[in-house]
């Protein structure tokens, strides 16, 4: 990979910056990148102490670097204010805060959300280095920005250097669809993504019978990226690059989705990815239909920024025994491990709750989830 004189000098420093350059150069060489390109924004995932552990914490401490571009970070393992209520113990909280302080010292904004695009919306064609598969697929597909599916470490390296290797989805022709997916019924997008992700190879372009909302596109992408190695999709007549390429001849038709979940939920969770303002309002409207309080543990997750803008909705939900947590989620927090079976509407949570938290899962639409919490029988 071609490096400028300045970039070569960074490699020779023998410090945290040179380590970050080494990571980017190694990545660029593996994927045949021509050179590095500047980015405007990095988003780093894997910041829960549950994921990083002591070894990661020590590595980060020793790095001693600062970020050269706007850098946001993914959810941590707890709500920073309400961790006791979540059942998080003191020692975990201490380690989590230590970790977040290292990121803060490096210059990260402690956004602690997987929906950084609600805070800072990248523009069409903008180059990013984002980890967090649900955010990557949203940025590429819905916003037309350009990012590969980075790991937490490569996104951090890019944040320090302010650049990323030019390969993959940074190059227009690599964003072309490979397979047309004709969707014949009105499936919930999250479950469609969850099922289709593992069944297709390459980039899908969907044909739906109706227009999807941004929240539905978000849910479709999160589901797709959780079960498949997908980082971009297109939707005919809807997403910004759908007509930049030929429609592929390979085609599948989806007219049936079989789901095989079966357990009796002791908790209900929503907000994977973190809830938008509209999604919080939808939950509020549904909860209003029920008298009394939630009868099952009902946890919902959103970002601090959405929470702060939706104070009245949050207060109402809290008064109905719906816990609205920020900074974390059901998947990255160890708090979820106490449950036997969790009901969720999220394709991503259906994939990762069993794998990472050892919890059984059952799918419900957003409406099913509210009903299950308020009127369980």
Find, among 168, 165, 170, the residue nearest to 21 by Cα: 165
- The residue from 41, 274, 326, 357 that contacts ligand F3S (CB under 6 A) is 274
Considering the complex, state which of residue 165 and residue 193 has its C-beta at the smaller distance from ligand F3S: 193
Per the CB < 8 A criterion, the answer to whether 217 and 239 are in contact is yes
- What does the alpha-carbon distance between residue 251 and residue 108 come to, in Å, rounded to a whole number? 43
Considering the complex, state which of residue 294 and residue 331 has its C-beta at the smaller distance from ligand F3S: 331
- What does the alpha-carbon distance between residue 103 and residue 107 come to, in Å, rounded to a whole number? 6
In the complex, least distance from residue 362 CB atom to ligand F3S, rounded to whole angstroms: 17
In the complex, least distance from residue 353 CB atom to ligand F3S, rounded to whole angstroms: 9
Q: Tell me the C-alpha to C-alpha distance, in Å, between residue 214 and each of 100, 141, 142, 235, 286.
A: 30, 11, 8, 12, 20
In the complex, least distance from residue 182 CB atom to ligand F3S, rounded to whole angstroms: 27
Q: Tell me the C-alpha to C-alpha distance, in Å, between residue 282 and each of 277, 304, 319, 366.
A: 9, 18, 17, 9
- The residue from 114, 156, 270, 306 that contacts ligand F3S (CB under 6 A) is 114
Find the part of the chain contacting ligand F3S (CB under 6 A) among 4-12, 139-147, 177-185, 266-274.
266-274
Considering the complex, state which of residue 222 and residue 317 has its C-beta at the smaller distance from ligand F3S: 222
Place of tokens 């979540």: 86
Query: Does residue number 273 form part of the binding site for ligand F3S (CB under 6 A)?
Result: yes
Phi, psi of 174 (to 5 degrees): -80, 0
Radius of gyration from C-alpha coordinates of the chain: 21
Considering the complex, state which of residue 163 and residue 348 has its C-beta at the smaller distance from ligand F3S: 348
Three-state secondary-structure class, residue 324: strand
- The residue from 63, 143, 222, 373 that contacts ligand F3S (CB under 6 A) is 222
In the complex, least distance from residue 301 CB atom to ligand F3S, rounded to whole angstroms: 6
What x/- string results for residues 313 through 342 when contact with ligand F3S is judged by CB under 6 A? ----------------x-xx----------
In the complex, least distance from residue 221 CB atom to ligand F3S, rounded to whole angstroms: 10
Query: Does residue number 65 form part of the binding site for ligand F3S (CB under 6 A)?
Result: no
Close Cβ partners of 353 (under 8 Å, ≥ 6 residues apart): 330, 331, 336, 342, 344, 359, 361
- What does the alpha-carbon distance between residue 219 and residue 215 come to, in Å, rounded to a whole number? 6
Kindly list the residues in this chain that would bind ligand F3S in the complex (CB under 6 A).
74-75, 114, 134, 222, 272-274, 301, 329, 331-332, 348, 352
């Amino acid at each position: 990979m071609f490096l400028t004189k300045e970039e070569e000098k960074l490699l020779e420093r023998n410090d945290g910056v040179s380590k970050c350059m080494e990571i980017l150069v190694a990545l660029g060489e593996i994927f045949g990148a021509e050179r590095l390109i500047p980015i405007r924004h990095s988003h780093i995932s894997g910041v829960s102490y549950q994921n990083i552990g002591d070894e990661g914490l020590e590595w980060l401490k020793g790095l001693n670097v600062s970020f050269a571009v706007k850098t946001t970070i993914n959810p941590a393992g707890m709500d920073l204010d309400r961790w006791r209520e979540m059942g998080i113990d003191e020692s975990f909280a201490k380690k989590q805060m230590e970790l977040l302080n290292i990121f803060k010292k490096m210059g990260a904004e402690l956004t602690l959300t997987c929906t950084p695009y609600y805070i800072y919306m990248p523009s069409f064609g903008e180059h990013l280095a984002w980890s967090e598969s649900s955010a990557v697929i949203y940025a590429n597909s819905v916003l037309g920005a350009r990012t590969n599916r980075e790991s937490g470490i490569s996104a951090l390296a890019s944040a320090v250097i302010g650049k990323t290797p030019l390969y993959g989805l940074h190059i227009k022709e690599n964003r072309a669809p490979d397979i047309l997916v004709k969707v014949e019924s009105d499936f919930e997008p999250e479950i469609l993504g969850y099922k289709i992700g593992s069944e297709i190879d390459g980039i899908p372009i969907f044909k739906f019978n109706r227009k999807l909302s941004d929240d539905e596109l978000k849910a479709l992408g999160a589901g797709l990226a959780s079960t498949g190695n997908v980082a971009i999709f297109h939707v005919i007549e809807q997403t910004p690059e759908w007509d930049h390429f030929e429609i592929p001849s390979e085609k599948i038709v989806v007219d049936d989705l079989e789901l095989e979940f079966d357990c009796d939920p002791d908790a209900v969770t929503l907000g994977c990815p973190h809830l938008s303002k509209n999604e919080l309002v939808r939950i509020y409207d549904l909860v209003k239909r029920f008298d009394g309080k939630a009868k099952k543990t009902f946890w919902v997750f959103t970002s601090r920024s959405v929470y702060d803008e939706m104070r009245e909705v949050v207060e109402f939900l809290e008064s109905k025994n719906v816990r609205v947590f920020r900074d974390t989620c059901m998947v990255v927090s160890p708090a979820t491990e106490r449950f036997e079976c969790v009901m969720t509407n999220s394709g991503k949570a259906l994939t990762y709750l069993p794998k990472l938290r050892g919890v059984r899962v059952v799918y419900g639409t957003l409406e099913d989830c509210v009903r299950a919490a308020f009127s369980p029988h």
